[in-house]
Amino acid sequence: MSERVRRVGFIGLGDIGEPMARNLCGAFDEVVVHDLRAEAVARLVASGAKAAASAREVGERAEAIGVCVLDDAGTRAVIAGADGVLAGAARGTVVAIHSTIHPDTARELAELAAARGVDVVDAQMTGGRALTEQKKLRYMVGGSPQALARVRPLLECSAGEITHCGGVGAGAVAKLCNNLVQFQAWQGYVDAFRIARAWGLPDEALLGVLGWILNDNARVFLASRTALERDPGNAPLRERFTAVMRLAEKDLHLAVDVAYRLGVSVPGAALCAQQMARLFAVPDLQRR
């Protein structure tokens, strides 16, 4: 059995990454964090973490590291860039990728890491900031059982459930499938409300009818979308919805690409990917 991990690192202190990193504080001898935004790092330092000037420094100081950045390009840079984790990590280090990325990217980075004696798992999660703070995230993990065992203490700091899905890349596939179902369900909800409102059916009545298939996440989405429809000039809400829309487009296009490479036809997913701006009530951003 591998020795208990004592020094951990976290890179990417965004909306979900920040509370994930905060949950690590106090659970290990040392928590080292890095982000391009000094104010985000400062908040974690106030919670007991220590700051690192680069991803490389995190690699030098931590035995297990979580990475939660925006996309494939950012994940590659943070892990395999000239000043990335692998430039400083010792043999035996394990890196958990939380970013929603293409499974081929996860496997590519795992191969690069293996050449340096470093393990990679793609520990994708779902649940959002609220469930992160409640330590109820659901993790979908791809990687070896040994690597998962070593990084599991980090995941357990934020997890309600951890599912080992298979080898590296399997976590990313599971996450893309999860998101695909969620976004297509939202498309159905939005269309249902358009029909109901055109008829004159009150939102409350339809919510009551659909209650058995609506979860809290969908209710929040629909409430926010309705608020933006009624007040298109609500800049903070519009900015947030636009940011989430772009992430949704990224994830759906990744899912469609994976399906294409596997020879699987997913016309519904492709259509949904094209409908994100309409779905998020920012139709003037619709791609041409």
Residue 43: the pLDDT is: 98
Which of 232, 69, 219, 231 lies closest to 130, judged by CA?
219
Given the structure tokens 């035995």, which residue do they identify? 63
Q: Are 228 and 243 in contact (CB under 8 A)?
A: no
Q: Where are the alpha helices (DSSP H) in the chain?
A: 17-24, 38-46, 55-61, 72-80, 85-88, 103-114, 128-133, 145-156, 170-199, 203-210, 216-230, 235-262, 267-274, 276-279
DSSP 8-class letter at 284: G
Three-class secondary structure of residue 94 per DSSP: strand
Run means of pLDDT, 10 residues per run, the chain, 288 residues = 84 97 97 97 98 98 98 98 98 97 98 98 95 97 97 97 98 97 94 95 94 89 93 93 94 96 95 92 68
CA-CA-CA-CA torsion sign (215, 272, 72, 102)? positive
Write out the two tokens for 268.
Answer: 């519904």
Residue 285: the pLDDT is: 67
Residue 286: the pLDDT is: 54
- Residue 175 falls in the annotated catalytic set: yes
pTM of the model: 0.92
Three-class secondary structure of residue 261 per DSSP: helix
Which of 142, 130, 218 lies closest to 176, judged by CA?
142
Residue 250: the pLDDT is: 96
Q: Are 16 and 128 in contact (CB under 8 A)?
A: yes
Write out the two tokens for 255.
Answer: 């899912």
Which of 73, 64, 256, 70 lies closest to 173, judged by CA?
256
* Active-site residue (options: 50, 135, 175, 250): 175
Residue 129: the pLDDT is: 92
